[in-house]
Amino acid sequence: MKALSQRMLEDMRIRNLSTTTQKRYLDRVTVFANYFNKSPSLLGAEDIRIFLLYLAQEKELASSSINVTASALRFFYKVTLGRPWDIEKMQFARREKKLPVVLSQDEVAKFFKAIKNKKHKAILMTTYAAGLRISETTRLILSDIDSSRMTIRIQQGKGKKDRYVMLSEKLLIILRDYWKEYQPTYWLFYGKTKNEPLTTGSARQVCRLASFESGLKKRVTPHILRHSFATHLLEGGTDLRTIQILLGHKSPSSTAVYTHIAIQNLKATTSPLDSLPDM
């Protein structure tokens, strides 16, 4: 299994999959092999079906988790083992259609007001103000902040693509205040030393602490800040295509979900109950 894992890792690197995807795929294939206590090279389509059924019925995993496992096994068998066979017939779980939780603008303001640490506020405010994934926030370097053009450069975001997002004037003030106190030299938000970036785990922990201290009933995560950014833009009149570009979405359908969250159309729509004669 060790040799196969190394080969799979090399195959994923050749295809430029993200390090997060590489780890997830290797983990899922390892769990699959351990379930049968056999090398996955000795297993086949029926074994995969049995395993996915086990994840769905006994482990009761979410469809998204099952689909990651299915994708990992498909990559392993098609690419690493080169088996163009019944794996194509493998069923993927139907994903639940859940709308993301978002904060109101008042809730966002209350959340930031509760953060006293300048570095913590700068990290989370950058995430919201530019609609970034937390992995993108933690990988920012000083030269990515362009105050002359009022832009932030996102290097090699999801899908290995660069993009630019707006630099908020309020955020620039926060970042300058943060820089004066912490003096970053390369990474905008450094970790244990100035020579390494802050980890995403540390950034999420910062957000959990801020969420608790804010007293909000909604749980705040970095991704909820990103969802809130997109929703607030849409409610403010920004078109979906622009939001798609800012978020770095490959497909317009990924951005379209925010049309189901934005409430400006709901407020403008009268319930038929209000049109009934007096009762």
Please say whether the beta carbons of 102 and 220 come within 8 A. no
Residues whose CB falls within 8 Å of the CB of residue 71, separated by 6 or more in sequence, listed in order: 25
Q: Both 56 and 148 in a single domain?
A: no
Q: Which of 7, 153, 158, 163 is catalytic?
A: 158
Any domain includes 62: yes
Question: Does 260 participate in catalysis according to the annotation?
Answer: no
Domain co-membership, 82 together with 110: no
Q: Is residue 97 part of a domain?
A: no
Q: Do 73 and 134 share a structural domain?
A: no
* The one catalytic residue among 77, 128, 190, 258: 258
Say yes or no: 110 and 200 in one domain. Answer: yes
Task: For residues 256 and 247, give the distance between their C-alpha atoms in angstroms, rounded to a whole number.
Answer: 12
- For the domain that residue 176 is a member of, what is the CATH number? 1.10.443.10
- Please state the pTM of the whole predicted model: 0.68
Query: What domain range includes position 77?
Result: 2-89
Shared-domain flag, residues 141 and 217: yes
Active site includes 258? yes
How many domains in the chain? 2
Place of tokens 């008042």: 106
Assess whether 51 and 177 both reside in one domain.
no
pLDDT of residue 261: 60
Residues 121 and 215 in one domain: yes
- Is 216 a domain residue? yes
Rounded to 5 degrees, what are φ and ψ at 255?
A: -85, -30
CA distance readout (Å), 273 to 227, 262, 266, 267, 277: 32, 22, 14, 14, 9
* The last residue of a domain, from among 33, 56, 89: 89
CA–CA gap between residue 141 and residue 187 (Å, rounded)? 4
**Residue 279 within a domain:** no
Q: What is the DSSP string of the chain?
A: -HHHHHHHHHHHHHTT--HHHHHHHHHHHHHHHHHHTS-GGG--HHHHHHHHHHHHHTS---HHHHHHHHHHHHHIIIIIS---SGGGGPPPPPPP--PPP---HHHHHHHHHT---HHHHHHHHHHHHHT--HHHHHT-BGGGEETTTTEEEEEEETTTEEEEEE--HHHHHHHHHHHHHH--SSBSSB-SSTTSBPPHHHHHHHHHHHHHHHT-SSPP-HHHHHHHHHHHHHHTT--HHHHHHHHT-SSHHHHHGGGGT--HHHHHSPPGGGGSPP-
How many Cα atoms within 13 Å fall on the side-chain side of residue 67? 8
Per the annotation, the verdict on 83 as an active-site residue is no
Does the active-site annotation cover 227? no
Q: Is 226 a catalytic residue?
A: yes
One domain, residues 123 and 206: yes
**Residue 270, domain member (yes or no):** no
Flag whether 46 is in a domain. yes
138 and 31 within one domain: no
In a domain, residue 113? The reply is yes
Rounded CA separation 15/12 (Å): 5
Tell me, yes or no, whether 163 and 199 share the same domain: yes
Say whether both 46 and 133 belong to one domain.
no
Domain boundary among 89, 124, 147: 89
Last residue in a domain, options 22, 56, 89: 89
Express each pLDDT in 201-257 by its tens digit: 999 999 999 999 999 999 999 999 999 998 888 888 888 888 888 888 877 766 766
Among residues 28, 226, 227, 232, the one annotated as catalytic is: 226
In a shared domain, residues 135 and 206 = yes
Kindly give the parts of the chain with pLDDT less than 70.
1, 84-99, 157-160, 253-254, 256-279
Name the residue among 121, 154, 160 with its Cα closest to residue 140: 154
Q: What integer pLDDT is reported at residue 3 of this predicted model?
A: 87
Is residue 33, in this structure, part of any structural domain at all? Answer: yes
Q: Supply the CATH number for residue 42's domain.
A: 1.10.150.130
Beta sheet of 161-166, edge-to-edge order: 145-146, 151-157, 161-166
- Exactly one of 133, 139, 227, 232 is catalytic; name it: 133
Q: Which two tokens stand for residue 130?
A: 């530019």
163 catalytic? Reply is no
